[in-house]
Structure 1
Amino acid sequence: MKRVTGIGGIFFKSRDPKALGAWYKRHLGIDVQAWGGAAFRWNGPDNPDGVGTTAWNPFPEDTGYFAPSTASFMINYRVDDLHALLAALRAEGVQVEDRVEESEYGTFGWAVDPDGNKFELWQPPAGN
């Protein structure tokens, strides 16, 4: 089974996400959108049309989205078969959240690494 196929996103806490986004836009040219983050399109040998993206998104400093981790960041990993991977991780003794979220943006699941860092697993919708 193929596991992680790429980085789906980098999420991190900020005291002022809007101001930080503006700083990155001004100084590094990141195309920060009205929703507060940016999406980098990419392609490669397995994806010559470049339909994949990596999200970059500052979150409010007091976000609970990264819980139970106390880290100031969370990485989103792109996967081919979320449900199969979650089952494999559980069988391997990894701390995996029970919930799975499905939306028009894809299917999401979460787990925690041995250092206590929560990470997000994302299966994009078909064709993405």
Structure 2
Amino acid sequence: MSEKVMARVTGIGGIFIKGRDAPALRAWYRTHLGIAIADWGGAVFQWKNEGRTEPDGGMTLFTVFDGDTKYFDPSPAPYMINFRVADLHGLVAALRAEGCQVDDKVDESEYGKFAWVMDPEGNRIELWEPPPA
């Protein structure tokens, strides 16, 4: 009998970058790539199934943070990727058991559940379990 494997990452929830001049960088993405950057600093890409115009409920964020943000700390990288996950608490427990450097903090809100892990090169990765539909 085969053992059930836990789903880990199911997609990309967001890509976050730091901008030395965040307003100018946001304007560049808006002007040259046509990304509808909102007043809060980012854009939401609603997922759509091929051939359909209606969103399927999933989304990916693209956000330009101010260059002095501490949100990516302790990583020195100017970016952070947010991965969608199916079972945040199960994945965090598995990562800890595997010896990964996982933050002690887990945030839970109306936006879902969030946790953070560092990869071997010191990049901070955000894990996100979306709220139920």
Interval of TM-score (by shorter of Structure 1 and Structure 2):
over 0.9
Q: Distance in 2 between matches of 1:44 and 1:117?
A: 31
How many residues were matched structurally?
125
Amino acid at match of 1:85: L
Q: Distance in 2 between matches of 1:50 and 1:72?
A: 31
1:22-37 → structure 2 map (5 Å cutoff)? 22-37=27-42
1:59-98 → structure 2 map (5 Å cutoff)? 59-98=65-104
Q: Cα deviations across residues 53-88 of structure 1 (Å, max 9, x unaligned)?
A: 100001111111111111111000000110000000
Runs (5+) with no aligned partner, structure 1: none
Partner SS state of residue 27, structure 2: helix
Sequence identity percentage: 59
Partner SS state of residue 65, structure 1: coil
Residue 58 of structure 1 pairs with residue 58 of structure 2: no
Runs (5+) with no aligned partner, structure 2: 1-5
Query: Closer, same or farther in 2 for the Cα pair 1:80/1:44, shift >3 Å?
Result: farther
Amino acid at match of 2:131: P
Q: Distance in 2 between matches of 1:43 and 1:117?
A: 30
Query: Closer, same or farther in 2 for the Cα pair 1:29/1:80, shift >3 Å?
Result: same
Residue 104 of structure 1 pairs with residue 110 of structure 2: yes
Q: Distance in 2 between matches of 1:111 and 1:84?
A: 14
Q: Distance in 1 between matches of 2:49 and 2:80?
A: 24
Amino acid at match of 2:39: A
TM-score (structure 1 length as normaliser): 0.93
Partner SS state of residue 19, structure 1: helix
Bigger CA radius of gyration: 2
Partner SS state of residue 120, structure 2: coil
Instruction: Supply the RMSD in Å over aligned alpha carbons.
Output: 1.4
Amino acid at match of 1:124: P
